[in-house]
Structure 1
Amino acid sequence: MSAYIFGHTTPDSDSIIGALSLSYLKNQLGEDTIPVRQGEVNPETAFILERFGFEAPALKTEFAGENVYLIDFMERSQSPKDIDEATILGIVDHHKMGDLKTDTPLEMWVRPVGCSNTIVKEMFDHHNVKIPKELAGMMMCAILSDTVIFKSPTCTKTDTKAVKELAEIAGIENPKELGMEMFIVKSDVLNDTKEALVLRDFKDFNMGGNTIGVGQLEVVDLSVFDNMKEELFAAMQKIKDEADRHTVLLLLTDIMQEGSQLLVLSNDNSKIESAFEMTLDDNQVWLPKVMSRKKQVIPFLEKQF
């Protein structure tokens, strides 16, 4: 019986490439695994897949009765709806402990690093399995994406070391240059609907019985959003209403200025203001040096809720 490997809903590059890289490793170790995805491939990930000649994993959203590995998440809110009917064999993640439970022991590789693919790289090293050239290139790109080309506060020396070693395997002389190419692709926000933009990198969190949705768009120039704020807020309101979310936040992150414009729709703005010790102006505020949803946003929100 094959085991499926997948990342969170609305997957990013780390989730998609992590499923591919972890599946390759597991198959080399004699397991029968299949990489899949829970959602659509975003433009950055499509760029990476095409650059290194890979196809996107198949879309699969139901896993009742299946054996599964999870990568890049362990939150129920980011899982398939029938996750309780699946057997979780293992988790590879770089986030905080989530609220999933298992009936049986499982393999866990959880490290406080900037990217799940950094952990997969360590797993390859641990098992002494060689990484194919093109897969190494994709794993390198996933790490550059998640660490915002090493600018994110989540980035560690382990991540930078992994990028250096993966770049050598892939024959890439200037990883940062390729990273900027990726972020230029990621900055294309003109060809999607506003709802698709909000959901491009969107995660739900259960905080004190409230559903809090947080999206993030990373660009090289924040001015691209100047004429679309009203439409973004309208899309956020639709997303908030359709799932009875308490709050929907959207981080517009400028990787050159190293900060984020935070857009807020909430049943209680005071909780958001208290979380970040600031005052909203027209439901938005600039947060200097805030680059990481995982490290600089979610922990502060959870204390409020």
Structure 2
Amino acid sequence: MSDIYVIGHKAPDTDTVCSAIVYAGIKGYKAATAGPINEETEFALKQFGVPAPEILENAAGKTLVLVDHNEEKQRVDGAEKILAIIDHHKMNFNYPDPIFIHVEPVGSTATILAKMFSNEVKANKAYAGLLLSAILSDTVIFKSPTTTEEDKKIAAELAQVAGISDITKFGVDLKKAKASIKGKPIADVVHVDFKDYDFKGLKVGIGQTEVVDIEEVYERKDEFVKYLNDLKSSKGYDMVIFMATDIVKEGTELFYSGDASKIEKAFNVKVSGPSVWLPGVLSRKKQVAPPVEKVYLEG
């Protein structure tokens, strides 16, 4: 087997893991994750009988294909030699050599891979199931504003191959796998899907978890506030944001530690405490990171 590793971003989610598995399998590379997988991803892998990839916490000396990310702060530690990038996020990437880069404005990296390797995916039920899971995860079952008609079309085709007759029910079951935060350590909840950003030279962290009952979050509000404040001061962040996204109510309770005026300006809201409810906000990539970055860039 090749010594090339296909790997997604830190705090791996379903799109990053499933995309790595499928791309690696088709190309004859090795799939890896930059950390442990979450319950949602575990559900998808078990559903289609696929083992979890190996965990590669330091990629020093390895040749990498990056999926579902391109920013340096989101890469696995030790990442130096990069062969290719497959992604659906905005580009913030510098590299000294020409490499293969494929980026499209769709709801998930899985959508891109399903098109790139249509024949291979249609011939493999497990690949189709994993990519379907990734699309449903990243688009929040097509509720996210990042969703495109192409995502829906590809998902329907993948569902036929994977033997999924009810896409919505499967998506809900997938989301429920990690939706409850009862009994989970606050640090695990915040970091289950957490990304670092460089906004005008300042370090900003944005985490997100999806729930089906926002009251679970409100019951632990003080814990979230304390953890974010501690994280900001101990890790050199200018701001830390945590999105508790209720996929049923279709909105986000946005917690933050940092300058409240930046939150007010970014989301055109009045903030009177350490968090604010943002109706209709489901996507970090499209609805949270861009307006926050804009505020930093405007100074």
**What's the TM-score, normalizing by structure 2?**
0.95
Of 112, 115, 119, 1:119 maps to: 112
Q: Find the aligned partners of 2:154 and 2:239 in 1 and give their Cα distance.
A: 36
Q: Deviations over 1:15-57 (max 9, x none)?
A: 1111101111212xxxxx1000001111111111111111111
Does residue 288 (structure 1) correspond to residue 279 (structure 2)? The answer is yes
> Which 4+ runs in 1 deviate beyond 6 A?
none
- Aligned Cα root-mean-square deviation (Å): 1.3
SS of the aligned residue for 2:156 comes to helix
AA aligned opposite 2:13: D
Segments of structure 1 that go 5 or more residues without pairing to the other structure are 28-32
Segments of structure 2 that go 5 or more residues without pairing to the other structure are none
Structure 1 position 63, deviation (Å): 2.0
**Residue in 2 that maps onto 1:30:** none
Of 36, 39, 46, 1:40 maps to: 36
Structure 1 position 65, deviation (Å): 2.6
**Residue in 1 that maps onto 2:85:** 91
Instruction: Tell me how many residue pairs correspond in the alignment.
Output: 295
Contact 2:60–2:77, Cα closer than 8 Å, also in 1: no
**What's the TM-score, normalizing by structure 1?**
0.93
Does residue 216 (structure 1) correspond to residue 217 (structure 2)? The answer is no
Identity of aligned residues (%): 39
SS of the aligned residue for 2:244 comes to strand
SS of the aligned residue for 1:186 comes to coil
Q: How is 1:1-305 mapped onto 2 (pairs within 5 angstroms)?
A: 2-27=3-28, 33-83=29-79, 86-98=80-92, 100-125=93-118, 130-266=122-258, 268-305=259-296
SS of the aligned residue for 2:231 comes to helix
AA aligned opposite 1:115: S
- In structure 2, the CA distance between the partners of 1:123 and 1:282, relative to structure 1 (3 Å rule), is same
With 270-279 and 5-14 compared, the bigger mean Cα shift is at 270-279
AA aligned opposite 1:259: G
Contact 1:124–1:131, Cα closer than 8 Å, also in 2: no
Q: Deviations over 1:184-237 (max 9, x none)?
A: 122121132011100011111000111111111111221121210111112222
With 39-48 and 150-159 compared, the bigger mean Cα shift is at 39-48
Contact 2:59–2:76, Cα closer than 8 Å, also in 1: yes
Structure 1 position 275, deviation (Å): 0.9
Q: Find the aligned partners of 2:205 and 2:121 in 1 and give their Cα distance.
A: 38
- In structure 2, the CA distance between the partners of 1:133 and 1:301, relative to structure 1 (3 Å rule), is same
